[in-house]
Amino acid sequence: MRPDSVSRAFAARVALCVLGITCAAAPRLALAQTFQLSYPAGTNAGPITGRAFLFVARTDKEEPRQQSGPDRDSEPFYGVDVDALTPGKAVTIDPTVPGFPVASLAKLPAGDYYVQGMLLPYTRFKRSDGHTIWAHMDAGEGQRFNASPGSLVSEVQKVHIDPARKTAPVSLSLTKTIPAVPAAQETEWVKRFRITSKLASTFWGHPMSLGAVVLLPKGYAENATKRYPVVYTVGHYSEHAPLGFTFEGCDKPETPEARKRRLERTNREPGCEFQQAWTSGKVPEMIAVFIQHTTPYYDDSYVLNSANNGPYGDAITQELIPEIDKRFRTIAAPYARMLTGGSTGGWDVLALQIHYPTVFGGAWGLFPDQLDFRTYQFGNVYTDTSAYVQVDGSWLPREIPSSRTVEGLTTLTVREENQAELVIASKGRSGGQWDGWQAAWAPVGADGYPKPVWDKKTGHINRDVVEAMREKGYDLRDYAERNWKTLGPELVGKLHIAVGDMDNYFLNLGVYHMETFLESTKEPGKGPYYAGTVEYGRPLKPHGWQPWTNQELLKIMMAQVEKNATRQ
């Protein structure tokens, strides 16, 4: 339908309504760049405080909300805060509302689009630190803002958007509720449990849970008195069994082409291959545990005590691990507790080992998040003034990259990723990566939300926040170096790091700094020597690279357990 035809149709519809003829019988106008979202009575008791979204997609291959996110391939989406929104009251999303990757509805090319509205409810937390805040309580989805159970969504509607024309708003009624995540099933191999953390719950003024997905070794049920070492795995929220263990898809073996592509990226074997080795007893007999520790800010607490997240380091070591020791036949001793994880989990396990050195017996941090804040992925937050632009007096300032291909091409900048997070939520509540780090490491602001590491709009770095992060020990290289005299004796032989030389998020840079310090501990007066390992994947190994299969890693860990046991 051409624009003049649409205008005539709209005029005719208005005339029918004026004459008292039902408006529903008239053709619906489907040309707009202003949207009004509301939910009817009975959908939710309300009122709702949270975040309203409009998702805009060029195709209907899946719901528009499922095509959007803080990544390069995202379809456009727009977000605005709502406060105590009641049934029937509309929230407006128009060209003044920020968006990503297209910053405004006014900048969308004219054309046909599939649109969907969504309302993400927040929970009110009256914390023990005296602050009351609103944030999203994870509902088992791992802080995925566009997939959280309990969110209200509209039907998908096809509209024509033409920023050059002023037209009637499109109303989107949020009549559907995203259902709960189905409960994961237990098997003879995989067990699950959750506990309510007293420490975290007291901090948040709300019940907060910790969870564990436990993988039992071959013969566990039959050998009723045998106790086992434990390998703890940490990382982004998941209900999957540790170390990739799975029976799913095992009737479809990996093709030679797929195996070649995988080996070019990592030495990690497919989950089915690992499962076959585990269930046949071809790997050391250990219990493997994946730790679940989501917060209202991120799907991973970053495992240390935090001003914004609460005392998760103590909760994990003083509540969850003792409960695992109680429920399963673990060897409840530090020498028999190994740690491994990748990316966020890589940082987590090194943080646990360094900050709780007498609780664990060894950590294998794979492609870990920034170990040294002189490379906060790429930029140096201690000396740079901007997180977004490298300004060095040149006439040609450079945008600071956040991610790259293994060949070195920038895929997203720090500015772009922060723009996406700012659209997802205000006040550091996006559940995104930069906000996740900020919540874990920054001080609390006067309003009760994380004090910004930098201004999301300008990129200006807040030096006082950065220094507070360093002082609290979240820069792991700095913390280890400052405290090596007392930490070193407890960490000898326990720190192991692996990263690709072209990690897609520049995480190899922090590893270089950490290795430089660790190797310096062999110098006179700096000891003891750390006696661990740092390995690099070369050439062109990306994020996700590790030098061994998981089967090989377990054998390395068991050797560590046996060596540690002789020291008891």
pLDDT tens-digit readout, 338-354: 999 999 999 999 999 99
pLDDT of 129 reads 97
Given a cut of 50, whether residue 106 has pLDDT beyond it is yes
Is 354 strand, coil or helix? helix
21: three-class secondary structure by DSSP: coil
Q: Please tell me the pTM assigned to this model.
A: 0.92
The Cβ of residue 56 has, within 10 Å, a number of other Cβ atoms equal to 23
Binned at pLDDT 50, 70 and 90, residue 261 comes out as confident
Say yes or no to pLDDT of 505 above 60.
yes
So what's the pLDDT on residue 26? 38
**Which CATH number does the domain 31-177 belong to among 1.10.3470, 3.40.50, 2.60.40, 3.30.160?**
2.60.40
Instruction: State how far the Cα of 319 lies from the Cα of 92, in Å rounded to an integer.
Output: 45
pLDDT of residue 568: 66
Question: pLDDT tens digit string along 142-194?
Answer: 999 999 999 999 999 999 999 888 788 999 999 999 999 999 999 999 999 99
pLDDT at 45: 82
The pairing of strands 337-342 and 362-366 is: parallel
Averaged pLDDT of the chain: 93
* Rounded-to-integer distance, Cα 69 and Cα 146, Å: 8
Cβ proximity of 471 and 507 under 8 Å = no
Statement: residue 30 has pLDDT above 90: no
pLDDT at 164 (0 to 100): 85
Q: Is the alpha carbon torsion for 378, 381, 387, 391 positive or negative?
A: negative
Quick check: 327 and 319 in contact, CB under 8 A? Answer: no
Q: In the CATH hierarchy, which fold is given to the domain comprising 190-372+475-565? A: Rossmann fold (3.40.50)
The band of 63, judged by pLDDT with boundaries at 50, 70 and 90, is very high
Structural contact between residues 475 and 469, judged by C-beta atoms closer than 8 angstroms: yes
- Mark residue 322 as left, alpha or beta (left: phi above 0; alpha: psi -120 to 50; beta: remaining): alpha
Cα-based angle 211, 477, 445 (whole degrees, multiple of 5): 65
Identify the three-state secondary structure at position 285.
coil
* Closest to 364 in 3D by CA, of 376, 350, 378: 350
**Does the pLDDT at position 286 exceed 90?**
yes
Quick: pLDDT tens for 390-429. 987 888 889 999 999 999 999 999 999 999 999 999 999 9
Does the structure show a pLDDT above 50 at 314? Answer: yes
Q: Per-residue pLDDT for 24 more than 50?
A: no
Q: What is the mean pLDDT of residues 510-519?
A: 98
pLDDT of 17 = 41
What are the distances in angstroms from CA 7 to CA 31, 111, 166? 9, 16, 11
Query: Degrees (nearest 5) of the Cα angle 167, 173, 178?
Result: 135
The pLDDT value given to residue 44: 83
Running DSSP on this structure, what letter comes out for residue 356? Answer: S
**pLDDT for the residue 482:** 97
pLDDT the model gives residue 32: 62
Residue that the structure tokens 């263990």 belong to:
245
Give the max Cα distance, the chain: 94
Looking up tokens 């890589």, which residue turns up?
346
Give the per-residue pLDDT at 392.
Answer: 79
What pLDDT, on a 0 to 100 scale, did the predictor assign at position 10? 39
Q: What is the CB neighbour count within 10 angstroms for residue 383? A: 10
Q: What is the pLDDT of residue 27?
A: 36
> What is the bridge-based pairing of β-strands 190-196 and 398-399?
unpaired
Per-residue H/E/C for 337-352: EEEEEECHHHHHHHHH
Q: What is the mean pLDDT of residues 478-503?
A: 97
- H-type alpha helices, 205-341: 256-265, 271-279, 312-315, 321-327
